[in-house]
Structure 1
């Protein structure tokens, strides 16, 4: 199915399949299996071995990497993460995405924009994807704390990594991977200068975290607080479109 074109007129074929396990997680799963088998076979400690074996399947599930069908409309900005929308606020983008970094490529313009925060629990897919296609202009890693990623101040105090993408028309979209209470490493898949397609995998955060995306001026989100997003599939906004969207929890 990878690379196949599907549409809303019935073109293409789809079916359920076991998701792949990202290479970044295979070593952790294999270590967990090896430890559990040691307790089961070498020590015959079933009370410890069986829970560890169950945990090893959980580790593999955490690093699952399913295929996604990425909407290709020019105006569509796609969700960079699986999870729940926990914050939608008007903020100034991080300085790291605005200031002159000496690369010769300007950052985001000054002024407030809408920030959409997506919280990922340990049960969500943790592969992050780019919301637009273009050229990676910045990848800025900042060490920090590991407080609850659902808190607003986590955007400024937690370990985080900013990524700035510039489209071919010059529009720039920035987003931030933020570590949480359990997360202890942000793993990038891209570097400045790389060309990326919309919905391409750009990194992961191990074991629970959050992703913030900064929408361009004049653009309102098409998602609501409490809504679940799917990385690479959910249209989080359409460039230049504004308007209130209301939902009812039920």
Structure 2
């Protein structure tokens, strides 16, 4: 099983504590072992392949936002604690810039989360400008992008993860409209696999 970067930083101390506590505080050792196991499971990073042509989901979870922004559509995916938290590129393109924006840490499913800490990845695609946003939540404190300005990215490529949170948005290229959407709010999706939008060719 592959794990996202950072898993060792959280899991190893818990496993070490379990080993130290085992001889004289077995119940606490079991708790530490469970914490380490949960952290390792939380940072799991399974292989994924797109299920068809089109824009793939950047995250595991449920679609929480579908709205128009000017001539583009935004689709947001909320990740709960049971979801894989490695994020994927929704499309092929070139990263123009990666911008970290400090902010609050409100629950990622609330309207106030628009002011949360985030990392915006601006991407130039063959279908026009697009953006991927990794948004922190109430418990998430670290956003880890794997890409930088000037990088070429491929659809479904791993592009980052958020420690213990929270939401990933994709601002679709202007070539996509509502008729191209294949999801609606409440739908369950998988990063790098589920298709959010597709155009007939």
What corresponds to 1:172 in structure 2? 129
Q: Quote how far apart the aligned CAs of 1:190 are.
A: 0.5
What corresponds to 1:25 in structure 2? 7
- In 2, are the aligned partners of 1:118 and 1:212 still within 8 Å (CA)? yes
What corresponds to 2:94 in structure 1? 135
- In 2, are the aligned partners of 1:85 and 1:228 still within 8 Å (CA)? yes
Q: Quote how far apart the aligned CAs of 1:26 are.
A: 2.1
1:230 to 2:190 alignment? yes
Q: Comparing 122-131 with 23-32, which one deviates more in the overlay?
A: 23-32
**Count of residues in correspondence between the two structures:** 198
**Cα gap change, 1:72/1:139 in structure 2, threshold over 3 Å: closer, same or farther?**
farther
- In 1, are the aligned partners of 2:106 and 2:138 still within 8 Å (CA)? yes
1:59 to 2:39 alignment? yes
Pairing 1:1-250 to 2, within 5 Å after superposition? 19-41=1-23, 44-71=24-51, 73=53, 76-91=54-69, 111-155=70-114, 157-167=115-125, 169=126, 171-217=128-174, 218-220=176-178, 221-239=181-199
SS of match in other structure, 1:64: coil
Deviations 1:208-239 (A, max 9, x none): 20011112334222112111110001010014
Deviations 1:193-218 (A, max 9, x none): 01111110010000020011112334
- In 1, are the aligned partners of 2:79 and 2:167 still within 8 Å (CA)? yes
SS of match in other structure, 1:69: coil
SS of match in other structure, 1:35: helix
Q: CA–CA distance in 1 between the matches of 2:97 and 2:52?
A: 23
**Cα gap change, 1:139/1:72 in structure 2, threshold over 3 Å: closer, same or farther?**
farther
Deviations 1:156-193 (A, max 9, x none): x10001011212x3522212100001101000101000
Larger Rg: 1
Q: CA–CA distance in 2 between the matches of 1:160 and 1:240?
A: 33
TM-score, normalization by structure 1: 0.74
Deviations 1:81-102 (A, max 9, x none): 00111121223xxxxxxxxxxx
What are the ranges of 5 or more consecutive residues in structure 1 without an aligned counterpart?
1-18, 92-110, 242-250
TM-score, normalization by structure 2: 0.92
Q: Quote how far apart the aligned CAs of 1:39 are.
A: 1.8
- In 2, are the aligned partners of 1:163 and 1:176 still within 8 Å (CA)? yes
Q: CA–CA distance in 2 between the matches of 1:172 and 1:130?
A: 14
SS of match in other structure, 1:67: coil
